[in-house]
Structure 1
Amino acid sequence: MAPRFDLVSEVWVGAQGPDGRLLNERTVVMPQASADHLCQLILSEGTDLVVCGGVEQEYYNYLV
């Protein structure tokens, strides 16, 4: 886990089934550490939960 949202270089993406089991998972290597690219990935994946070390208010508001 990166200490800040905008410093992420790799992202773990997983999906949980209705019974709680992990359905699929993968690691996405970001082309560069960028909060904008990470927001794009989060939105395109339809993400319900993001776990990170810290996120600027601007990006938090955008994603919420």
Structure 2
Amino acid sequence: MEAKIEQQQEHIRQLEQEVREKEQRASNVDKAAELVEKLKEQINIQVLIDSFLRKAFSIEISRMFA
């Protein structure tokens, strides 16, 4: 009977460890998703800046040759 209890306790410890590992992986996935969103925002900002600079450069060139 005692051996059965010890076996069940060990099984519980293993399950608890699995839960901790899965929680850690889920946390890592959440962090990665947040980083992806931040990168998307940075890319969008850079695209807007590039677009603005191209337009400004185009206007300046037009003025030079007007």
TM tier relative to shorter chain: under 0.3
Higher relative helix content: 2
Q: Which has the larger radius of gyration?
A: 2
TM-score using structure 1 length: 0.21
TM-score using structure 2 length: 0.20
Instruction: Choose between structure 1 and 2 for higher RCO, CA contacts under 8 A separated by at least 6 residues.
Output: 1
Higher relative strand content: 1
